Amino acid sequence: MGEMIFHVNTDSTTYLIWRDTDLKKPARDKLIDAIKRHIEKFGTVPTECLVSQQEFDALAPHETIPLHVSARNYVPRHQFYIGRNTDVRTGATGRGLSGVRDAVPHHDPT
């Protein structure tokens, strides 16, 4: 596991890159770990996650989470780009997971 921080100028979103190559760990658990780390590092709840197509496919399509997850061809496998975009639009390519809200520590950003 590891992390890096980067800033995308196109939408002014800062992402925490969470990398977890444990092949036995489900993608859902890796995503939960990434969300927890984002909250711990930035003190805010993330609103979106960019993943590889492989990680996106590994996330169960019927589950729901409180952030937008979408596949991007430039995101390497085993990496989760977690960010907070104040102009997030939910919709077509997003996918979620149930139980994440309970799995992450409660944080009130106000």
Among residues 75, 108, 70, the alpha carbon closest in space to that of 89 is found at 70
**How far, in Å, CA of 82 to CA of 3, rounded?**
10
Total structural domains in the chain? 1
Does residue 109 form part of some domain? no
Mean pLDDT rounded to a whole number for the chain: 75
Q: Which domain range does residue 17 map to?
A: 2-103
pLDDT for 35-49, tens place per residue? 999 999 889 899 999
| 110 part of a folded domain | no
12: amino acid identity, one letter: S
Domain assignment present for 30: yes
Mean pLDDT (whole number) for 49-72: 84
pTM for the model: 0.72
| In 1-110, alpha helices (H) | 27-42, 53-58, 100-103
pLDDT at 85: 78
Distance of CA 70 to the CA centre of its chain: 9
